[in-house]
Amino acid sequence: MKNTTPPKIVQEYLENFGLDKSEFPVHIFPKQIQDIILSTNECIDYPIDYIAPSLFFSCAVAIGNTHSIEVKKGWEETAILYMAIVGSPGINKTHPLAFAISPLLDKDIEANEVYKKAIAEYDRIANMSKKEREEEGISDFPIEPQLKKYVVSDITPESLSSILSINARGIVYYADELAAWFNNFNRYNKGSEEQTMQ
């Protein structure tokens, strides 16, 4: 009987299309990114096939909707990228992606600190009387601050829509496990979350 385990199926696919001996094209990246890819591979054993696309993905998130490219007249594309790292258990899939998006998570932490201070000040002013605001020289009622984010996870389609309205440059939906992401579809409602994510 033919062996149909997942690793054998993947290996057979790669061999059939001549991809079993191909290497990830690290040369497409700027020199500084190549150095990160090769150094993390050599020093902490990040597979090149995982760290290179993870860095590419992180760059796409950072660019977001700030730039677009005109493929041809009337057809523009932004830096939208969907990525899933697939491999056998225990071959270091999680760490390269976590490493690549860590600067974005750091930015989110910084933004959260700014937001906490801004919302505290907003609440302070909102609770003042008109006379108290005038005494402090505050002429207009403050605009409620909004939290800027790069990375979200484990959210409902409704909250995703709200977050996107605040973060027009774009965000990344990050799920550590692909199976967990699929299993969470329609967890909070009986809607069609699968279609929302397309």
Which residue ranges make up each domain of the chain? 6-196
Q: What is the pLDDT of residue 59?
A: 92
Calculate the CA 126 to chain-centre distance: 34
Q: What is the pLDDT of residue 162?
A: 84
Q: Which of 40-49, 64-73, 83-92 has the lowest mean pLDDT?
A: 83-92
Dump pLDDT digits (tens) for 125-177. Answer: 999 888 888 888 888 888 899 998 999 887 777 788 888 888 888 888 888 77
Residue 9 has pLDDT above 90, yes or no: no
Task: Tell me the pTM.
Answer: 0.75
Residue 69 has pLDDT above 70, yes or no: yes
Confidence band, pLDDT 50/70/90 cuts, at residue 118: very high
Q: What is the pLDDT of residue 22?
A: 64
The more confident residue out of 111 and 15 is 111
Q: What is the pLDDT of residue 3?
A: 62
Q: Which of 19-23, 113-117, 124-128, 155-159 has the highest mean pLDDT?
A: 113-117
What are the DSSP calls for the chain, one per residue?
Answer: -----HHHHHHHHHHHTT-TT----GGGS-HHHHHHHHHHHHHH---HHHHHHHHHHHHHHHHTTS-EEEEETTEEEES---------TTSS-HHHHHHHHHHHHHHHHHHHHHHHHHHHHHHHHHTS-HHHHHHTT--SPPPPP----SEE-S--HHHHHHHHHH-TT--EE--S-HHHHHHTTTSSSSS-HHHHT-
Q: What is the pLDDT of residue 190?
A: 58
The more confident residue out of 90 and 30 is 30
Q: How many CA atoms lie within 13 A of 181 on its CB side?
A: 13
Confidence band, pLDDT 50/70/90 cuts, at residue 89: confident
